Structure 1
Amino acid sequence: MGAAQNHRRYQPQCHSHRYLFHGRMGSFLFSVSLSIYAPSVDGYRFTVHGFLNRKALGANCREALGVRREGLKSWKTVRAGRRTSRSHALTSFRVTISIHREGWEELKKITFKREMIPIQSVKAEFLSAGFAYARITNFQSHTTGDFKAKLRELQIIHRLNGLILDLRNNPGGLLQQAVSIADIFLDKGTIVYTKGRREDQNNVYVARDNGEKSIYPLVVLVNEGSASAAEIVAGALQAHKRAIIVGTRTFGKGSVQTIIPLPDGAGLRMTTARYYTPDNRSIQALGITPDVEIPLITCLPPEESEAQKRQVKEVDLARHLPGMKPDKDNGQDRQADKLEERLQTDNQLRTAYNILKSLDLFYESKEDAP
């Protein structure tokens, strides 16, 4: 645990507990995340990030060269700590930044306003009949409830034959919510345990049999952006062989952090323990290695070669016997086209989908066997 002690940080009063509380409850006070970099000759370069489904993304400002600010002091005269304090002010806080990009003749002003915007952490839909896709962006206080509600909605539409759980770029969140999500798919056994220097830092979280377990095939998508609570879910499902993990090795954030309140309202965040998977693997700095490792590469349909174009099929022959055309279902055709277009741009999702369909066929053949 010696090296872990380096992971400690003082959090000023302005954004210590209040900011963390709002984040865990599923809402953020930032309309955007603004990262300021070192000054250059013409000004300060900065990058703007937005959360999923956030109206802040409408600002259409990813990276630019900031040359002037209005309404507050110049960045040059405000220390780094003060910059953070300014941006964590009340919800009425506004700042206008004049930016310049290559190719622009004039500066463009963009105003940022800090607001309380709820963030939906769960999204779920059918990719095709019976095969569902669910994405969890982070683990908030209501994530498990939202996830179960989404599954119930899908099961009303169609019986679930398989599920892809997407935890890519999920930075984590509340431990208890991660445990609850894993518990949906497990009947018994350890989900995760922590081990620290002191006895009171050693905890074991186990699955409970609540009679509502899901028995359909499960594939979990992860990548290098999957961290902390997301790694706990993936590690537990992998250790119990309940799911096939697909993607790239995860971030490796397997340390337990405790916030110690200070008298002035600030806090000291310290690393006090480590997370371990049910099969005794430490997540810290190692991450979760997928069962099927595949990097994200954009898949484009291959162009048909001249040889392929010249290949003759039955339908090309004169006086061929016509086949029976299936009944047209424009709705299904549109859904299939939309799915194919989506899979062309996400080879990790394509791999997960193919695995899911293969597992469904395998289990179906076992049920039909005498």
Structure 2
Amino acid sequence: MTGTVTVHPATRLTGPGDQPLRLRLAGLGSCPALRLEWPAAPAPRLLPGPDTHTPTPGWTLAPLDTGGVELRRAAPGSEGSDDVAGIDVTEIDVTGLDAAAETGRLPLTVTALDADGRPAHTSRHILFIDRNPAIKDFKATDLQVSRDPATGTGTTTLTWTGRTGGGSYHLSANGSAPTPVTDRPTADGVYTHTVTGLTEDTAFGLRWEGENPSADSAAAMVLVKDGDIKAGKLSADGIVALLGAPRDYTCDDFTSDGDARSAQATTDGILLVSLDAGNATATSVSTNVRIRPSQGNPYDRTLTCPTTADRTYQAHTQLPVPAGATVTLVGTTPKADLRMSWIPFGKGALKGAPQPVPQPAPQPASDHP
């Protein structure tokens, strides 16, 4: 029997098997059964459990003692099948296959069986098991950034370690639209990417998007500034792992100047901005966030979201802010709820905004009046 089999995704995280493993059979007809197998020695690395099943209609699943599962069509017919360009295609999902803690390459074998239970087609695949999608050691080489826009001679090489399959990397500079990274990693998962034509202090944001973006993503940031590299990382679940503790601000915390409110960054950092309707009566709310570095090009972000009586909408953005830059909020809709979190690379605050006031420690009760 001729045909092809693919296994998707090619990368799987250790832990619970919440993400389905999909088998796609093309040109194999309506095969009545197939086996998905992996080595059982020295210890199995995919673990069927009570929750392991196939949600694909018309198919059943049973574990194999030798390490694997058998999928069998529950009744004759073409359940789970489709016709693509004249080729019979069947897609079967397997959920609840937990992955053991050992990472690396895991060989898989998929065998399609005929009506007599004999192998009709066998294919071999590699599943890469990784712990998480975190970006590690994101850094840049030292450089002197050109201050002449006409020359643009500044160059830096970015390196990082991360996932090598099951998703893609996207790089942005100073909050610009991200572009895909096409550089190939080494065998150890180390990526190298060269950026040229720099004419200013540049904050690079790197994001890894998994094939299942709602579950798999990671982000990191590095700031290139006159040969001084100031770097920080965000973990896969978005928890800040920098020197400075996040600080929360509202519009009222910034210095007022007519319709505008401003503050100045005393160190490099990331500004997280969230906007929702609050108590506004307009049909939509908006604000404009302006970043004005002491050197380099300015950049703006406009946030807009609708308001309805029965639903709550929010708009969000994240902006790299170099030390000495002025952050200005302009045109914020009255009574809209605008909140900000400042994540410093160090311990610097947004100048113009009030500092947290230390609370006195509680005094022990006394028996004396």
Q: Name the TM-score, length of structure 1 as normaliser.
A: 0.24
Question: RCO greater where, 1 or 2, for CA within 8 Å and sep 6 or more?
Answer: 1
Give the structure with higher Rg (CA).
2
More strand by proportion, 1 or 2?
A: 2
More helix by proportion, 1 or 2?
A: 1
Q: Name the TM-score, length of structure 2 as normaliser.
A: 0.24
